[in-house]
Chains A and B, each alone.
Chain A
Amino acid sequence: MFQFKKIAKLPLILIQCECGREFLQEEMYCCLSCQNSMCRYCTSNEIFCYYCRNCGDVQITSETSNLTVNCSSCFECPVCKNVLRRQIDTEKNYGFTCSYCFYTTRSIGVTDPNFQQVYTKINNAYKQEYEAEYKDFQDQYNRIKSIENNNFLIKKQQKNKHVLKSLTQSWTKSEALIHYSNADIDKMTKEKNLKVVLQRYNLDLNNKQVELQDFNPSQQTSTQLPIPLGLLSRKNRKCRKCQKLIFTLQPEKNSKKFAYSVQNLHYDHAPYLQVGKVSYVNKEKTELSVVIQMFNKTKNAMEYSFSPLDQQILEQYKLLTVKNLPSPTFTFNNDNIESDVQQYQKFEAILIIKDATKIQFAFSVSAKIKMPMDQQQLNYNVNVYIGTL
């Protein structure tokens, strides 16, 4: 996933998660039941739907039972990985072409006056290449499906308690397990094609490293088949500790817009920090003054409290000491939230520079929320990066 920390300019405010990673304030998530703000790595993902990035075809996991790995109507160029588009010849034969390099399916011989026949030709060409493996795959897939169906029936009967126990006992000794003994099942699990069966869901594309290379499309030639386009996924987020949903998607059959029904961002429950003026106080340049502005962008009033870090931690990591912190708690109402004038609190801290240009201080925020819970509290660490002046 993309990180905005790489693009952001100094001076910068980052929030430190419990795992040690730092993110922008907008990129952090919040679990109200755990009263903790967390980063993307501290949340677990649950796949909500699969979609094609070209045609926008959406497959929601809860609704459909036959999920596919690749899109049925879109293909990828084997040379440059661009999505192919349809082409009509002067002879009125359909085919696929790449608009970036000059790859066409005509060079392979996959053209037809009927466009749907082009798909069958590509699938048949794939079958011929992988015919033997395809047969083994089909046989084992059918075997495993039958096992699953039998296991499903067993579980269904066990649920019905009024069914006599003798039936279940006779079923355990019955033909289903005789045909598929434990040894047979162990064999099948060791074979390679099972991995393909169990991995019914497409693997998400990890962060690719893009390198610019000299690419001359006219010099590229390929006799390969077009590659079926893999599906991408959208996910819901859950807290790892309490398994409560943090982000949930609305079911929409349009991949160009994704709306969220539940969203809990750190930004929605904590004050927004911004670095104001930064300047030296002394001629010797040993003291630095930083003005930090805090905005309340939520709908609720908040109480802030600051707690500076221990001296041991400051000395260990050669961090700056913060002086002149504001009073332990002060309230910040947002009565004028409807008006454009933003209320903010600001405090000025005089700092003593040791080595680095990094400030670290911890503070906690307690927010009063009307419903459903009375009072929520969030504790988190904030790092302020200033850079050289």
Chain B
Amino acid sequence: MDAIIQYDKSEFHETSSGIKISKKSIIKGTEQINVSGRCIFFNDVILRGDLAKVSIGKYLVVHEKVTLKPSYTYGYTKESPTKKVIKFLPLMISDYVEIESSSIIQATKIGTCTSIGKNCYISHRCIIGENSIILDDSILPPDTVVPANSVYGGRPAVYIAETPESTAIIQKQKLINFYKNFVPKS
């Protein structure tokens, strides 16, 4: 039995595809943001689409005070072929992802059915595989690759354990039920 969470309709925008965004969140560059549907963004979420493309899958749940920011590299461009310049890379978040509160994410790719804990800092150019878990209060240094079905945690984050084969089922059920129980007050 999952608890029903009721919200004020006046505090949230709701789109036709089922995306629920709180009015206290900051979203920039909506032209470059592509969301599949049925996502929830709580208060004080910062989503930077003005830097690079952001593509988000379905059933994403982003809790309070999370910043989603595309990562960057140093490289040459047509405008400056001799001098290195910051280039922003697109951010890709797959389906059935949950991001807990107060975490900062600058990864390039987050796989399906992953869960990221509270107060995490995921540095730039990180790649997180599917069905993986990142524990609370962990820091992933830049350029880390988290393989599929793994648990990472610590400062710096280190491989801790393997997840069972049914993590995808558990994560999907959890997020589908969370979305169903996130209901406006009558």
Contact = CB atoms under 8 A, between A and B. Distances in A.
Q: Is the interface of B mostly helix, strand, loop or mixed?
A: loop
Nearest to B130: A257
Contacts of B52: none
Given A80-B156, A82-B141, A255-B148, A210 B165 contact: no
Contacts of A263: 165
Contacts of B167: 4
A308 interface: no
B164 interface: yes
Given A81-B158, A210-B135, A257 B169 contact: no
B5 interface: no
Nearest to B168: A26
A258 B148 contact: yes
Contacts of A210: 135, 153-154, 158, 160
A-side interface mostly: loop
A357 B102 CA distance: 35
B160 A260 contact: no
B151 interface: yes
B162 A1 contact: yes
Contacts of B127: 256
B162 A212 contact: no
A297 B5 CA distance: 26
Contact of B143 (A53, A99, A255, A265): A99
A387 to B, nearest CB: 11
Contact of A26 (B137, B146, B160, B169): B169
B87 interface: no
Contacts of A1: 161-164
A219 interface: no
Contact of B162 (A2, A54, A80, A99): A2
Contacts of B137: 212
B70 to A, nearest CB: 18
Interface string B77-90: 00000000000000
Interface string A298-332: 00000000000000000000000000000000000
Interface in B45-72: none
Given A56-B145, A82-B156, A256-B147, A207 B161 contact: yes
Contacts of A207: 160-161
A314 B8 CA distance: 46
User: Looking at B130, B135, B150, B166, which has the most chain A CB atoms within 10 Å of its CB?
Assistant: B166
A83 interface: yes
Contact of A278 (B1, B123, B149): B1
B155 interface: yes
Contacts of A11: 1
Interface residues of B, number: 38
Interface in A21-76: 24, 26-27, 40, 51, 53-56
A236 to B, nearest CB: 11
Nearest to A10: B1
Contacts of B153: 210
Contacts, number: 98
Given A2-B133, A100-B156, A255 B147 contact: yes
Contact of A51 (B123, B144, B147, B166): B147
Contact of B148 (A99, A212, A256, A276): A256
B142 interface: yes
B18 interface: no
A85 interface: yes
Contact of B141 (A99, A215, A258): A99
A83 B157 CA distance: 10
B145 A54 contact: yes
A257 B164 contact: no
A56 B129 CA distance: 11
Contacts of B129: 255-257
A26 B168 CA distance: 10
15 contacts: A1-B162, A4-B164, A53-B147, A54-B145, A56-B145, A85-B143, A99-B142, A99-B143, A100-B139, A208-B160, A255-B129, A255-B148, A265-B169, A276-B1, A278-B1
Interface of A: 1-2, 4, 11, 24, 26-27, 40, 51, 53-56, 80-83, 85, 98-100, 205, 207-208, 210, 212, 215, 232, 247, 255-258, 260, 263, 265, 267, 274-278
- Report, nearest first, the 8 A-B pairs whose CB atoms are least far apart: A100-B141, A26-B166, A100-B156, A210-B154, A99-B141, A82-B156, A275-B1, A99-B142
Interface of B: 1, 111, 123, 127, 129-130, 133, 135, 137, 139, 141-151, 153-156, 158-167, 169-170, 173
Given A82-B144, A210-B135, 6 more contacts: A51-B147, A53-B150, A81-B158, A208-B160, A212-B155, A256-B127
